[in-house]
Structure 1
Amino acid sequence: MLRRLSVIGGWTLVSRLFGFLRDLVMASVLGAGPLADAFLIAFRLPNHFRAIVAEGAFNAAFVPTYAATLERDGEARARAFRSQMLSWLMLVNLVLLALALLATGWLVFLLAPGLGTGEEGVRALAIDLTRITFPYLLCMSVVTLMSGVLNAERKFAAAAAAPILLNLAMIAAFFSVQWFPDAAHAAAWGTLAGGVLQVILLTAAVARAGLGFSLPLPRRDGEVALFFKRLGPALLTAGVVQVAVFADTILASFLPTGALAHLAYADRLYQLPLGVIGIALGTAVLPEIGRDAGVGAEDKARGVMDRALRICLMVGLPIGLAMAFLGEDAIRVLFQRGAFDAAATAGSAAVLAAYAVALPAALAIRTLVAAFNGRGDMTTPLKALAGATVVNVALKALLSAEHGAAGLAMGTSAGVWIYAVTLYVLCRTRGYVSPFALADKVLVPAAAVTMALVLWGMPDLLAPVEDVLLLLPALAAGLVWLALAAALSFGAYAVVLGGGLLVVRRLARSRR
């Protein structure tokens, strides 16, 4: 698991670093004003549909079905199944694209009804940009299928590395902004170019792996019928997830200009550990659960879950604390320049702190859902998610009126915790996971408390080096301060946790 996690997480980390570079350039060029709001709407629309039609629902239904087919029936049957899936994806996406291009204005209105009420021309710009970015959905649907095939074959690198191309394409577009009407149009065309480049990369990867595709007439029989049977609940689950995301966008469109940008820049930092650890773990665990449960190896499947959840607990708590305490400093160092001012930093930091509260639960969700999806159970996560989403959306509407974009993030965190705890209780009831060891229940919180105390006293701890930092350029000084703060706080966490685990192991050996 650690080897696979290192491959997926390593490439994801590289991608997220390029994503930070992209956002540094985007923050400087677009800032947090009307151009940024218009582009972010155009960027979110295809990604909302992508999360429903492609990654969210498709992966949940396809990967376990494909892995079991490959294990049970061999490569020829698996090739026929994946080729049918390509035909269906192309058909569905072409219909969606035609509808979206005909009704772009309505889509923008549904996603952001308050957009442009205070700024002339913002809605028209968002509609124009959406017509450029929406074909990105077709590209990413093909990428998702090919990534699922490669992941089921235990080939993770190409799929994890593909998003790097999106970031590079958008960076190149920002540096070529003089060739476009404005920076928002540059970002939109960069998005589409990034989707095309990812399709090319994944096509080369599946060809190199000898995993060919054909394009037959779509049929509904055999594994395809089983896929569609599982797809229905998976679509509803992905749709419910997007209800909460839509609620963010809709409510933020009524907030003062910049709220959408505050959410986006905070989410960039929040998504870093989610991608490197949470999504990477879920990606690695899903095909393994599908294989093990498919042949009745429940003990093996439970062991996979136990290891994954332990990683989420031990990593999620310290990273969440670091985001809560150091988030404003990180956003200031990374983004505050050009059109991104101190007010944008403060707004984004408040959102990040609210998100950070739920980071351990957010890391675990993909793994917990995989425990059910890997066994072909798409309905249980849907029921758990529906209840969590009701609370999520209600709190967003209640808290955003007083706390703005940070209130939206508070509602998100509450919903994430409810969803994760519900899934974990159901997993324990059904025997999908083992209880956490007593050492984990005691030592991890103790180490987290120690880290929180160190972070709280960080200004005093680093006071002796302040004079030295003043000699450095502002960006270098900020990066050094953050590096020292991270080293001290994570070091304190590691010392307490590692020392405690060492003592526990020695005591266990002495009793033997």
Structure 2
Amino acid sequence: MSLVRKFATVASGTLMSRLLGFAREMMMAAALGTGPVADAFNAAFQFPNTFRRLFAEGAFNAAFVPLFAKEIEAGGIAGAKRFSEEVFGVLFTALIALTILMELSMPLLVSTIVAPGFSDNPQKHDLAVSLATIMFPYLMCMSLAAMMAGMLNSLRRYFAAAVAPVFLNVILIAVLAYCWHEGLGGLEIGHALAWGVLAAGLVQLAIVWVAVRHAGVRIGFRRPRLTPNVKRLLVLAFPAAITGGITQINQLIGTAIASAKDSAVSSLAYADRVYQLPLGVVGIAVAIVLLPELARALKAGNLQEASNLQNRSVEFTLFLTLPAAAALLVISEPIVRLLYERGAFAATNGTPAVSAILAIFGLGLPAFVLIKAFTPGYFAREDTRTPMIFAAISVAVNIGVALTLFPSMGGAGIATASAIAGWVNATMLLAVLIRRGHWGRDAGLLKRIPRLLLASAVMAGALYWAARWFAGSLGPTAPFWEQAAVLGSIIAGAMLLYFAVVFAIGGADVGMIRRSFRRGSGPPNGPAPDA
């Protein structure tokens, strides 16, 4: 299977999840708007979700996957199974202890870390504590599920791990539909959603557990012991958790700062859902596929293949995310209006704030995706310390800029800080890869990047003109079907224009894409063609 086909396999499941996520957020916006229940739910859910990214996806995709891949190469499935059982015993025990500790400490955590701004509103604070208490065990389910997903990715079985997150949105959509049918109030909807999150965690864990067993690996429980393999994993996992979850750390910091202003937390959450579509479909897919492939190439000593994997991944991410970033920057307001402006959201007039935040997130989107493409170059070499240092620097930048801008800009200031921190992190990651000789110069990539930028700029100009021309059909007084038809047509036309321009000026070529789809997992047949 070619690299692009592997990206597509993961991206298809992620795309399904993100599209259902839009449906979920549209229903939540209509039911809760940007009011206190929405703020409390989003802040409470951000807490276990951040831990999940830190200690599950971040740590295991960065530390566990290369070690598991090596065990497969060295000892086959039997050796990999033994290693997995050693890790499972330690992980399960640690998660039980962490969950109990966090549940007992939740009131203190909400008032000091999660949403300190809620302390001035006792009802909002107590609601956030209640919802976070219900949802925190979701972390345990998803951490174990992330381990299983890492095993599946190392075994080159990508689809089950990619499609499992779909069920979070399926279950929450079902919960919201039930609440609407029963005519439930805001508080009841908030609690129902919290229980839905917990149920979704159990379902996702069951899906990947079954998939791992179907792949021929049956994991039994072993008494937790710090074996040499587990110690090596822990040494790698702590900095990898920080690095892999850097975007979520910055989001958690942003949520804590935003809690000082009404509606800011939920405005950030609604904007985040939109830009997570290209970030998830492209960035996460590339990171998931690239890490085990790069680890295998380096283990085999095939530096040419490793260099080709990295360059083609960056090329692929920029090819898709630069136009997405341009679109978010130019037409964020019509997008937000179409997705959210109804029910309680319309009553709170949340469109201007959310669209401003979304436009700024668009500026940071290429950086967030490039981070996903650059970090496997470190993790595959079992260097998790360097990216952790860069992550810490970017967190410091984020905090400093956010605290400076939030009083005057509100949620848009937090989005600006996040975008700046993302670009600082991506720049440092690339610079050190080049300095160490781990990123080979690729003439084709260097020629294509400015052409991709030019094609995206042309598309952005066309979008700006079209949005002004059809302003009446995209405005708040236009019916939903008219907004959807016009905006969909504008976006479709912009996509056709982008692809036409990018192929015409040599930002990409059909032959390159065709070869990428045919290329297997073996060494590449020479360097990528120049444009």
TM class, shorter-length? over 0.9
Unaligned 5+ runs, structure 1 = none
Query: Matches of 1:21 and 1:216 in 2, distance apart?
Result: 41
Residue of 161, 173, 177 corresponding to 2:175: 173
Unaligned 5+ runs, structure 2 = 512-529
For residue 169 of structure 2, what is the amino acid of its counterpart? N
* Change over 3 Å in CA distance of 1:504–1:64 after alignment to 2: closer
Query: Matches of 2:419 and 2:468 in 1, distance apart?
Result: 30
Residue of 184, 194, 197 corresponding to 1:191: 197
Q: 1:329 — aligned with what?
A: 334
Residue of 291, 299, 313 corresponding to 1:294: 299
Residue of 81, 86, 97 corresponding to 2:88: 86
TM-score (norm: length of structure 1): 0.93
Q: 1:223 — aligned with what?
A: 229
After TM superposition, list the pairs within 5 Å mapping 1:438-449 onto structure 2. 438-449=446-457
Query: Matches of 2:220 and 2:28 in 1, distance apart?
Result: 39
Contact 2:116-2:259 at 8 Å conserved across structures: yes
SS at match of 2:156: coil
Q: 1:450 — aligned with what?
A: 458
Q: 1:24 — aligned with what?
A: 26
For residue 337 of structure 2, what is the amino acid of its counterpart? R
CA RMSD of aligned residues (A): 2.3
Q: 2:134 — aligned with what?
A: 132
Query: Matches of 1:505 and 1:101 in 2, distance apart?
Result: 54
1:483 equivalent in alignment to 2:488: yes
Q: 2:401 — aligned with what?
A: 395
Q: CA deviation at 1:433?
A: 2.6
Q: 1:14 — aligned with what?
A: 16
* Change over 3 Å in CA distance of 1:504–1:315 after alignment to 2: closer
Q: CA deviation at 1:461?
A: 4.9
TM-score (norm: length of structure 2): 0.90
After TM superposition, list the pairs within 5 Å mapping 1:367-382 onto structure 2. 367-382=373-388
Query: Matches of 1:454 and 1:240 in 2, distance apart?
Result: 34
CA deviation string 1:273-295 (max 9, x = no partner) = 11100010000000011111122
Q: CA deviation at 1:148?
A: 0.4
Residue of 248, 255, 265 corresponding to 1:249: 255
Query: Matches of 1:503 and 1:163 in 2, distance apart?
Result: 32
* Change over 3 Å in CA distance of 1:352–1:90 after alignment to 2: same
Query: Matches of 1:113 and 1:452 in 2, distance apart?
Result: 37
Q: CA deviation at 1:235?
A: 3.5
Query: Matches of 1:344 and 1:134 in 2, distance apart?
Result: 28
Q: 1:270 — aligned with what?
A: 275
Equivalences, count: 502
Query: Matches of 1:175 and 1:159 in 2, distance apart?
Result: 26
Q: CA deviation at 1:226?
A: 1.8
Q: CA deviation at 1:489?
A: 2.1
SS at match of 2:375: helix
After TM superposition, list the pairs within 5 Å mapping 1:46-61 onto structure 2. 46-61=48-63
* Change over 3 Å in CA distance of 1:307–1:106 after alignment to 2: same
Query: Matches of 1:8 and 1:80 in 2, distance apart?
Result: 27
Q: CA deviation at 1:59?
A: 2.1
For residue 100 of structure 1, what is the amino acid of its counterpart? M
Contact 1:85-1:224 at 8 Å conserved across structures: yes
Query: Matches of 2:392 and 2:135 in 1, distance apart?
Result: 30
For residue 296 of structure 1, what is the amino acid of its counterpart? G
Q: CA deviation at 1:236?
A: 4.2
Q: CA deviation at 1:504?
A: 8.9
For residue 412 of structure 1, what is the amino acid of its counterpart? S
1:35 equivalent in alignment to 2:37: yes
Q: CA deviation at 1:113?
A: 4.5
Query: Matches of 2:400 and 2:468 in 1, distance apart?
Result: 40
Q: CA deviation at 1:343?
A: 2.3
CA deviation string 1:214-273 (max 9, x = no partner) = 101112224222212212322443576554233201110112x11001100000011101
Q: 1:493 — aligned with what?
A: 498
SS at match of 2:506: helix
* Change over 3 Å in CA distance of 1:56–1:504 after alignment to 2: closer
Query: Matches of 1:132 and 1:505 in 2, distance apart?
Result: 51
Query: Matches of 1:503 and 1:159 in 2, distance apart?
Result: 30
Query: Matches of 1:26 and 1:236 in 2, distance apart?
Result: 30
Between 1 and 2, higher relative CO (CA 8 Å, sep ≥ 6) is seen in 2
* Change over 3 Å in CA distance of 1:311–1:502 after alignment to 2: closer
Query: Matches of 1:134 and 1:157 in 2, distance apart?
Result: 26
SS at match of 1:176: helix
Residue of 105, 108, 116 corresponding to 1:106: 108
% identical equivalent positions:
33
Q: CA deviation at 1:175?
A: 2.3
* Change over 3 Å in CA distance of 1:203–1:231 after alignment to 2: same
Query: Matches of 1:459 and 1:386 in 2, distance apart?
Result: 40
Residue of 416, 441, 447 corresponding to 1:435: 441
Query: Matches of 2:416 and 2:200 in 1, distance apart?
Result: 32
Q: CA deviation at 1:425?
A: 1.5
1:303 equivalent in alignment to 2:308: yes
Q: 2:67 — aligned with what?
A: 65
For residue 349 of structure 2, what is the amino acid of its counterpart? A
Query: Matches of 2:316 and 2:190 in 1, distance apart?
Result: 39
Contact 1:176-1:186 at 8 Å conserved across structures: no
Q: 1:45 — aligned with what?
A: 47
Q: CA deviation at 1:20?
A: 0.9
Contact 1:327-1:352 at 8 Å conserved across structures: yes
* Change over 3 Å in CA distance of 1:112–1:217 after alignment to 2: closer
Q: 2:517 — aligned with what?
A: none
Query: Matches of 1:29 and 1:362 in 2, distance apart?
Result: 30
